Structure 1
Amino acid sequence: MEAKQAVGFINVTRQCNVDCKRCYLTEAHRAAKERLPLVILEAFLDTMFWKGRPVALIWEGGEPTVVGHGQMKAYCDTARRLLPHANQTMVTNCFNVPNWLIDLTHEEFAGSVETTYAFAGKASLAGDEDHYQRKFLAGLNKIWAAGIECPVNVELNVETIRAGVDALAAVILKSQCRVWEFDVSVDFHAFLAAPVYSAHSVPALPLTATYNEAWSFLRELQKRWGKAFEDAGIAIGAFQQKIGQPNNQFNIACESRFLTLNPDGNVTTNPLYSDLQGTFLGNVLEAGMDPILSSHRRKSRIMADRSRVAPCRRCEHVSYCKGGPSHVPITDGSGECAGGRGLWDQLLESSCA
């Protein structure tokens, strides 16, 4: 049996050119012009954790393009030298898409990058949400027009849900993007103001919308716009799932496979924990990666990740749902679950029809 893929999320900076009020990074870090030193990157990658198994390295920020072409190329070259078998890609916010990013994506990322989006709650640094929306769409279209596949992960925040499915469908159909995914929305700004962790160092992250609201929104999107998306050749990840195939939601059963590096050398697991100090496993500059990998905090979170899905064991969908994203609770009292049982019921009904 092939070993599970190890995923390294590498924050080359936490500086960003977009203002997201609920971002998982602090405002101070999003404004700071920090850069990841190559010596820290080398220490992070020089460990047996990455050897003998498939590896994905995902360059992130903040916004990674703000470090410039020369620095990004140096990061890619270093990673390729140390882990030649690793696949590399990037998460960019598409707010600014320089020509060098197009070239680098074809050269280093096998013609594929990723992005995130929300219908509301994102703005330019000047606070202009309309400016963000225009720039995002222009950047996204530039990437796809260049022959690059760039799936969009939509944050199902409460503002997006309240705007209605027609508003989001208009954006989807207006773009050149042909692959759209969805994720539940967390208010990291509220958490950072009053952080609460379990005994396993798992953060208790507040949702911006209930699971019932989020998955009902997707069911309505499929009902009203599914045929139009299909006719346009647009794949909506949640609607493409087949019974027996693995769940493609973000961060499913991830604690044992994910490691995230910050520019200052601090390491955590889930990239959404990049600024949550209660999740940090250690700093690679202090004693290398071995103490981080064997840390009690990491082992504790791996066990918590596995025990988290205990309420799901009698669910008919658990074999492919896997409990949904690891960073949120299984249930929230709304009658739905993190994995979106309502969607899976709908898929099961469709497959049996």
Structure 2
Amino acid sequence: MEKIQKLRFTVQAICLVLTVTSFFINFKIAMIAIAVLTVFAGVFYCGWICPYGFMQDLFGKFGSLLGIKKIKMPSSLQRILVFSRYVLLALVLLIGSNFVFGLMAFDPHANFLNMLVGSVAGFAAISVIAFFLIVSLLFERPFCNYLCSEGARYGLRGILRIFTIKRDQSLCVNCKKCDKACPMNIKVSKATNLRSPQCINCFQCISVCPFKGALSFGPMSTDEKEKRKYIAIALSALVLFGSFAAYNFFGGKKGVSEEVTTPAAGESNSVQGGGDAFSDAHGIADGTYIGEGVGFKGTTVAQVTVKNQMITSIEVTQTRDDKPWFDRANSAIPDSIIQAQSTDIDLVSGATYSSIGIRDAVKNALENARQ
């Protein structure tokens, strides 16, 4: 199984490069495939794809090379802290307040991704990124374990997976090497079917197991006890997701409607001025142009007004992104483009995909204007 770890390291490195090239942003089918894989086989994104998870792994290996012994969270404390990232996810999904978005501005996972695609992070954001990487020298995946709301989201999606890591009790000698190897502090030695939402499918537990077949990856065992447990979890998940859907439908966080209200007089994203050779609108005739981009949940449509070869107004007329995230991006991106007279602007931390959707819609509108 050492080959699996080498393969995982290679895939992680490739995905880091693909992230830099915006592959996962431009090719939504890749993210859809990852989401489908999560539902059927658990969380592979965190263990095989996530760039910040990869960086924590690298720093962890570097710490081992330096002879730094890894610290394991005491079981009594782990049982409490394991819920922290799910509490954070609930706050993000249900509250969506400025306070929560303020916290997300320091999310090292989001900020690291932003930096990889060209966004400039502030000193505080870089400090948080560096802090968790340094802690990774002593403690495996500290951010992933307790504070990553995105990892929590993936974990919950895969809780009803069909394929998972299994333990054959007849072959297991209870050496607990799997427990020590797990970077997510899961008690693998106590599971028959490993259904923990913390599991990132890194397969390190299988790699260190001294008895072939004691741990394996495949379809879940289906004895009566496991069936009852699966049904109980399925019903709980149904209630949880049903409650969240009802919250969204009856007044919670809804997606922005197809038509976004035009800003009131004096509040529109507009500017007056003459032609500028450095403006992205240079050489474009006066008029209003429509363009499309891809946000987090689908197509974003923007209406761009050009006057005197200057971008004077940007209005988003359609988006499918969730309102808090979209509003966060829409409050900054149009103004930034107008001020810079360019789409080469910084993205909004915590609303990266919505920012990209608006920016690309403006780009597309200007491209359409030149045709």
Q: Normalising TM by the smaller chain, what interval?
A: under 0.3
The higher radius of gyration belongs to 2
Relative contact order: is structure 1 or structure 2 higher (C-alpha 8 Å, sep ≥ 6)?
Answer: 1
Q: Which has the higher helix share?
A: 2
Q: TM-score if structure 1 supplies the norm length? A: 0.24
Q: TM-score if structure 2 supplies the norm length? A: 0.23
